[in-house]
Structure 1
Amino acid sequence: MNNSWQRRAAAHPTAVEATTVALLFACTVASVLLTRSFMPGTPPLWPAIALAAVACAAFPWRGRRPLYVLATATACAMALGALGYLVTPGLMGPLLVAQYSTGVRTARRTTWNSALAATAGMVVTGGFRPSFPHSLIITIVNPAAWVLLSAALGAYVRVRREYAAARAEHADRQREEEARRRVIQERMRIARELHDVVAHHLTLADAQAGAAAHLARTHPDQALGIIAKLPDTTAAALRELKATVGLLYQDDDTADLAPAPGLEQLNELVDTCATAGLEVIVTVEGRRRPLSPVLDLTAYRIVQEALTNVTKHAATRTAEVRLRYAPRSLTLTVTNDTGSGRPLVTAASGGGFGLLSMRERATAAGGTFHAGHRPRGGFEVACGLPLPAPVHSHDELPLHHHDEGPAT
């Protein structure tokens, strides 16, 4: 019902304003008649009604000129006191409403300056009341208190409205910042996926093409075998690239998308690296545990990017991948030796995005990441990913070693 009344009031502002002025005038006239009935000397009636009409007639301008409306109402209230009326809250109705409107629509300094001026006028008027020479509370304190109370109420409403507006603005700003942050995070996620997919497959395709060109004259059969596997590498690159870019065109999550890769595809990754001439040894320590989709994808992409860096930058043709399952963590380690003693060039020294992408993935999953040269030569990438606590006590078994052996 309240909302319905507010909608009607907003649709008919003129009628609402006229009704407000009429009610205020009626209340003021009723107070004039009531006060006149017990006042000694019978103050004049029609001048008082005329003053009430003038004070109420100025109210339609209180939105644009609140100080002028307040000055008019104060002058009319003082005139009623000069006519011999006791200035009661009813007679001061137009003044109190005008003071409230001033407090709502003007700044704090203006509100209280105008309130002090109106209070001073009412105090002066009450001081010259000959009928109540000893009643300071009725003639002075009471009018002054009502004026100040109206000013305080208007100032309070103004502060509440400003606070509500500030909260709404702050909420809008927070929503905009949150939306902007989500857009940036999504861009970074897609950029990481594109980098991992394109860099890995193109690096393998380049290595396969180079190996085929190198073996074309001396071992043509091996060269033809590598060339025969090259379409599989490029097809896998196109397939993952299409799946990643396809996310940009999805309006909802109802479309069928290819499952994200995980550690279950690690053997396929090792076989693909083998076609590019990189021998990968995978070692698993501890009891295998199922991973969440996010952790599974993170672990796979980190291993994939590390092997891609080895293929591009390392002088050796061998690498080792070690997976260590602990009760509350999974540690991934990818290492390679310097081979023939040539200096190792890494993505970190080349200014690439490989190490940055791996670090961001590990950090986003709540893990740790370290990459650097080994004391005995070579390069190492180590990542620790948190795992949920094991459900069954038999997960706390002693660690054992399982070597899948080198890829061929």
Structure 2
Amino acid sequence: MTGHSSYRAVVRFTAAVALAVVTLIAVGFGEARQHDGNRQIDDMSLFMLAGWLVSLVAVGRAQWTRAAYLREVEQRALAAEREQEARAEQSATEERLRIARELHDVLGHSVSLINVQSGAALHRLSKKPEPAAALSAAEEALEAVKATSKEALRELRSTLGALRGPDESAPTSPASGLDRLDELVARARATGIDVRLRTEGERRPLPPPVDLAAYRIVQESLTDVTRHARATGAVVTVDYTDGAAVRVRVDDDGEGAPEGSPPGSGIRGMAERARAFGGELTARNTAQGFGVSARLPVDARPRTEGSGRTE
């Protein structure tokens, strides 16, 4: 529509100029054919007529230019408004995805552990052991479920703190990070899998977003180990030897992923976390089972966003 309007305005302006020129030529030619005594318009009047026509054309051109400028300003304002709305919508979408990913990691991990722990206890009780042994197995399972659910509530409160209003107080529980891996490994070990934690290089503090991302990657990897791997053991490795990045690895001795299987949502979520910080993540079968490895630059800021095992 704008292009057609501009084209019509140019056509009208060209027609006006042509009409003015033709009028001047016609008047001038007519006066030139008259004898000196029979002229209807003298030179001064002819000059004033020419000036009047030129003035009309100039005024029309100025008005057209001003109207075009106003249209351009209005279009730019509308474009800026649309861009601002698109950015706001994109930011809201990214925030929803971030919260959804956090909830998936927190609840998925904890519910998976509770499911495995309660399933193992029921399996032992189904063998109808002696009352003392049955009571011991039930107490052990309930203690593990209690600890896991307590940690799930703590992390859930911390995650939902991002949704609190400006007048609400911030959560007081510490944020999850690599310094809490001992607890994470202990909960995974309670499911019956021999999970070990290993640190390479000198441990150093990390920026909170990177620290949380590394923790979540290990958490989701252990969730996959307990749910899908059918493993008896796993090793969690945190590598600080790279001064520009931190590396985390989780290797298990399970069955691995079926060849050609698409990545599950857990693997995709971990890969998105790594890419958000300019890092990378690999998830593939190994000679012993399955391995997940991630590298996260320590000086990176989150930015706007695998192969692996199916869930």
Q: TM-score range by the shorter chain?
A: 0.7 to 0.9
1:293 aligned partner: 208
1:265 to 180, 189, 196: 180
* Length-normalised TM-score, structure 2: 0.79
Q: In 2, distance between residues paired with 1:298 and 1:324?
A: 15
Equivalent residue of 2:296, what SS? strand
- After superposition, the C-alpha distances for 1:331-373 in whole angstroms (9 at most, x for unaligned) are 11111113xxxx3348x94763110110111111111111111
Equivalent residue of 2:68, what SS? helix
Equivalent residue of 2:246, what SS? strand
Matched, 1:359 2:271: yes
Matched, 1:277 2:192: yes
Unaligned runs of 5+ residues in structure 1 are: 1-102, 390-408
2:36 aligned partner: none
Q: In 2, distance between residues paired with 1:125 and 1:251?
A: 79
Q: In 2, distance between residues paired with 1:351 and 1:359?
A: 10
- Offset of residue 126 of structure 1: 6.2
* Length-normalised TM-score, structure 1: 0.62
- Asked whether the equivalents of residues 257 and 290 of structure 2 are also in contact (C-alpha less than 8 Å), the reply is no
Q: In 2, distance between residues paired with 1:136 and 1:286?
A: 97
2:165 to 245, 251, 268: 251
Give the partner amino acid of 2:85: E
Equivalent residue of 1:108, what SS? helix
1:386 to 271, 293, 297: 297
Q: In 2, distance between residues paired with 1:245 and 1:280?
A: 29
Q: In 2, distance between residues paired with 1:369 and 1:144?
A: 74
Equivalent residue of 1:155, what SS? helix
Percent of pairs with identical residues:
33
1:41 aligned partner: none
- Asked whether the equivalents of residues 311 and 317 of structure 1 are also in contact (C-alpha less than 8 Å), the reply is no
- Asked whether the equivalents of residues 279 and 319 of structure 1 are also in contact (C-alpha less than 8 Å), the reply is yes
* Closer/same/farther in 2, CA of residues 330 and 180 from structure 1, 3 Å limit: same
- After superposition, the C-alpha distances for 1:79-102 in whole angstroms (9 at most, x for unaligned) are xxxxxxxxxxxxxxxxxxxxxxxx
1:327 aligned partner: 243
Matched, 1:229 2:131: no
Q: In 2, distance between residues paired with 1:126 and 1:251?
A: 80
- Offset of residue 381 of structure 1: 0.4
Between 169-178 and 284-293, report the one with greater CA deviation.
Answer: 284-293
Q: How large is the RMSD of aligned CA atoms in angstroms?
A: 2.9
Give the partner amino acid of 1:362: A
Equivalent residue of 2:264, what SS? coil
- Asked whether the equivalents of residues 155 and 176 of structure 2 are also in contact (C-alpha less than 8 Å), the reply is no
Q: In 2, distance between residues paired with 1:360 and 1:139?
A: 75
- Asked whether the equivalents of residues 119 and 143 of structure 1 are also in contact (C-alpha less than 8 Å), the reply is no
2:118 to 193, 209, 215: 209
2:307 aligned partner: none
Q: Which has the higher contact order (CA 8 A, sep 6+)?
A: 2
* Closer/same/farther in 2, CA of residues 140 and 350 from structure 1, 3 Å limit: closer
Counting only pairs closer than 5 Å after superposition, residues 2-21 of structure 1 correspond to structure 2 as none
* Closer/same/farther in 2, CA of residues 282 and 136 from structure 1, 3 Å limit: farther
Give the partner amino acid of 1:295: V
The structure number with the bigger radius of gyration is 1
* Closer/same/farther in 2, CA of residues 137 and 294 from structure 1, 3 Å limit: farther
Q: In 2, distance between residues paired with 1:120 and 1:172?
A: 47
- Offset of residue 200 of structure 1: 0.2
Aligned residue pairs: how many?
A: 279
2:66 aligned partner: 157
Q: In 2, distance between residues paired with 1:228 and 1:167?
A: 63
Q: In 2, distance between residues paired with 1:176 and 1:388?
A: 30
- Offset of residue 143 of structure 1: 3.5
Between 132-141 and 175-184, report the one with greater CA deviation.
Answer: 132-141
* Closer/same/farther in 2, CA of residues 181 and 291 from structure 1, 3 Å limit: same
- Asked whether the equivalents of residues 192 and 357 of structure 1 are also in contact (C-alpha less than 8 Å), the reply is yes
Give the partner amino acid of 2:249: T
* Closer/same/farther in 2, CA of residues 288 and 114 from structure 1, 3 Å limit: same
2:305 aligned partner: none
* Closer/same/farther in 2, CA of residues 282 and 368 from structure 1, 3 Å limit: same
